[in-house]
Structure 1
């Protein structure tokens, strides 16, 4: 029999509900896997004691014996990204300043996953405050890539991605502001999805009106798991007035290549040279496009049709406006200014200089870009571009300072390719695309869908998975 930790969540759910394996057996298998792998990869933090987790698993077995299942995740281990609250676990956000912060209630996403039956075993590592696409912090340390421990796992959902790729979790959750689900998925040979804005209500945090760029979402090794977890996470919550009504209906998804026939796919590439991209990345993405082309998709190179530099400046304003107040809220804590990472203080400093007029102009520019994309989607079904502009870089490096002969003027400029879906509030999915020609480093391709087109985008991913199924089964070497 295949080892339990090799199975995805859907397969485990089937075995558990058919009473072919017990929840206790599943928990034991994953705890043993974590004990072997986590000392190397540092992906799961604040892990709960094994005896209490085994007790929860046995209780889940007793519930099934009485004919009661909580849902498809019944008895399945889950570690929550440290941005979200889970009662009984500190919500540190990877910061020494918040090391002892204990939540009084679960986040909306956590509560929904628990209601579907999962057992929360711990949290997953992330960069401090989620800033930067490289998972390291001074509280827990760095999380290396699942395929090569000498390089970055990406971020900010890096711990979740590595735990998933290294079979310490069967499925994972994360969040995405500037590619924080998409980038680690791409760098660890996984599927990661940023849902439509409002599809998965965050928090709730201190602001539910303006703070609409970040969203939680799923990571998975299969599209079926990705879709099922998104369906669990999604739906309106009255505490989040801008959240989307209703869960998504994934019952009609077909795991065949058929949906690629006639699919109109616009390839943005490096935006006609605007994006600095390391050698080999565009070629790997084009290989993935070629697989879709062979299955009947219509792939056309195209331009963004909008001033990319103006969009970047718009992005800087929005990011500072949303990140700055979060940093400000921490600065009254003892030693905060000395403990917080320099990038957080940089965001705060620039946020303090923003004017209301500047922010409103950036909002108008963002609105114009969204309306522009509505016109673009009259001619294409999906937009595609790389999920990152660099290959995984040395784990000791804070962030890439240079791409080719172009200097990165901010700590996140090398992830500029992720801002377009975020600014427009559109669903975007990262698909495994290929590997570096000389290193074991994965890379993903990013597909952006139409407004609230989450299910249609999942269908494209499911068909891509069907076309490249055997290739997608590759996994990192055992440690």
Structure 2
């Protein structure tokens, strides 16, 4: 056994706890010590509930010793995204408006993780109301990249990704509208899955039938991500769009033979987005790995026409729906870009929403037909490597100006508009040592297929094993 408990994967930790080689208390204590050493460098965890976690760990050990049934995540420490309500634990959404907010109930993703035996140790940093792919807010400041603390950790699940990379906890939850699970995973050399809409049901929701924003898992490995998904997925009567298939299928082994897999590869989404050359280089290497594993790799890309309008229209509508009342009551305390997004939603007409609905339907069918010829699609997760942490967003990509904080994430949010599942997997590093991820996209509801493809790539490359050196210099 390694001398550092935080080096184990979630799957390894669950086995060691069940076999009583490690106690839940030892595991929680080790991760709390890791937080103490590394969090000051990156600002990933913004609320810590150490004593509560230790009490829960003691209770978990007592339960196991008494021979009572335990869940699949028994004794594992997790931190929840600070936009996910946690009963009795401060949930700020990264905004001064909710600086002292103490929810009465856990929302569904938290409820499921805790119901499976996970132990809450705290909350992870987010942009204000999760708006943007760079984690910074007026309450807690910015989250830095563990591989270079002068760079961004991405967002909006940036605190979760940075904490995972540093070993502060082995599993995390997150959410993704335009890339918020995938982008920080790419920036921090971890794994993030944007599941198919309804795969991970959400509750509570103001508009339960909406499907652009989803919640899902993050971890350091694909297997750990699948473990978390096995708990998070499955139907729930409180979500009318929840997929009926149980999550247990994701707990099965992910090994599969990629021989003959039909792989489409497009480093620039068919020429529709600019991409930094360092990202393209990593993607070219990733495509070669899939070919070496037996896949038939071809340069091909679906037609993403209309994805821009679909995403921006439905995103603006969602922002007004979710945050319109906050804007009315506290508009003078919100960041300008957030107000602009809410106001854009208020300016929409019925014709605008109808156009977006038609466009999204057409996009779905183009993707459906595309995947008749291919099993998976390889794309960049982010169009740039991690950028300076003091910037709100990169001003240009490969010489092309970015006019807003959304423009540089088209490689992620075009996929969001399709409703397809997408997995961000570590794909290597730039010459400067910054992580780059590859996005594995699959057909509608083919979440297991993208996990299997991502797992095969991960096993062949092992990029996730290159960990950051922070706090005590002990990492290789």
Q: TM-score range by the shorter chain?
A: over 0.9
Alignment of 1:7-156 (within 5 A): 7-48=8-49, 50-156=50-156
Q: 243-252 or 338-347, which moves further after superposition?
A: 243-252
Aligned to 1:417: 411
Q: Residues 251 and 76 of structure 1: is their aligned pair in 2 closer, same or farther, counting only changes over 3 Å? A: closer
Deviation at 1:477? Answer: 1.7
1:289 corresponding residue in structure 2: 287
Is the 8 Å Cα contact of residues 388 and 417 (structure 1) preserved in structure 2? yes
Please state whether the residue corresponding to 1:46 is helix, strand or coil. Answer: strand
How much has 1:306 moved relative to structure 2?
Answer: 4.3
Give the count of matched residue pairs.
469
User: In 1, Cα distance between the equivalents of 2:270 and 2:204?
Assistant: 39
Give the CA deviation at 1:10: 1.1
Q: 1:30: Cα distance to partner?
A: 0.9
Partner of 1:478: 470
Question: 1:162, CA displacement in angstroms?
Answer: 0.6
Other structure's SS at 1:186 match? helix
Counterpart of 2:315 in structure 1 is: 319
User: What is the TM-score with the length of structure 2 in the denominator?
Assistant: 0.96
TM-score (structure 1 length as normaliser) = 0.95
Is residue 175–residue 181 contact of structure 2 (8 Å, CA) maintained in 1? yes
Task: Please give the alpha-carbon distance, in whole angstroms, between the structure 1 residues aligned to 2:301 and 2:110.
Answer: 39
Cα distance in 2 for residues equivalent to 1:298 and 1:67: 50
- The residue aligned with 1:260 is 258
Return the offset for 1:466.
2.1
Q: Residues 371-382 of structure 1: matches in 2 within 5 Å? A: 371-382=365-376
Whether 1:360 aligns to 2:354 is yes
Instruction: Summarize the Cα distance change of 1:219–1:329 in structure 2 as closer, same or farther, 3 Å threshold.
Output: same
Cα-Cα RMSD: 1.4
Describe the shift of the 1:250–1:352 C-alpha distance in structure 2 as closer, same or farther (beyond 3 A).
closer
Unaligned runs of 5+ in 2: 472-476
CA distance in 2, matches of 1:69, 1:118: 14
Asked if the contact 2:279/2:436 (under 8 Å) is kept, the reply is: yes
Displacement of 1:227: 0.6
Q: CA deviation at 1:103?
A: 1.3
Q: Is the 8 A contact 1:69 1:117 kept in 2?
A: no
Maintained 8 Å contact 1:327/1:344: no
Displacement after TM superposition at 1:164 (Å): 0.4
Q: Could you say what secondary structure the match of 2:85 adopts?
A: coil
Determine helix, strand or coil for the equivalent of 2:144.
coil
Question: Is 1:341 the equivalent of 2:335?
Answer: yes
Q: Secondary structure at the match of 1:461?
A: helix
1:457, distance to aligned residue in structure 2 (A): 1.3
**What is the CA-CA distance between 1:225 and the residue it aligns to?**
0.9
Range with bigger deviation, 243-252 or 96-105:
243-252
5+ residue gaps, structure 1, are none
Deviations 1:129-151 (A, max 9, x none): 11110000001111001111000
Aligned counterparts of 2:313 and 2:152: Cα–Cα separation in 1: 27
Shift of 1:280: 1.6
Shift of 1:406: 1.8
Distance 2:383 2:304 in 1: 20
Mapped partners of 1:303, 1:450: distance in 2:
13
Q: 1:173-322 to 2 correspondence within 5 Å?
A: 173-209=173-209, 211-248=210-247, 249-255=249-255, 258-307=256-305, 310-322=306-318
**CA distance in 2 between partners of 1:415 and 1:277 (Å):** 10
Contact conserved, 1:47 with 1:121, CA < 8 A, in 2?
yes
Shift of 1:102: 1.7
Using the TM superposition, give the Cα deviation of residue 252 of structure 1 relative to its aligned residue in structure 2, in angstroms.
4.3
Alignment of 1:390-469 (within 5 A): 390-437=384-431, 439-469=432-462
Aligned 8 A contact 2:41 2:470 in 1 = no
Rounded to whole Å, the distance in 2 between the matches of 1:51 and 1:188 is 28
Residue equivalent to 1:389: 383
Report which stretch shifted further, 67-76 or 165-174: 67-76
For residues 17 and 252 of structure 1, do their structure 2 counterparts lie closer, same or farther at Cα, with a shift above 3 Å needed? Answer: closer
Matched position secondary structure for 1:253:
coil
SS in 1 for 2:150: coil
Distance (Å, rounded) in 1 between the aligned partners of 2:328 and 2:348 = 21
Deviations 1:104-143 (A, max 9, x none): 2111111111110011111110111111100000011110
| Distance in 2 between residues matched to 1:11 and 1:129, nearest whole Å | 34
Structure 2: distance between partners of 1:251 and 1:89: 29
Q: Distance between the aligned counterparts of 1:178 and 1:331, measured in 2? A: 21
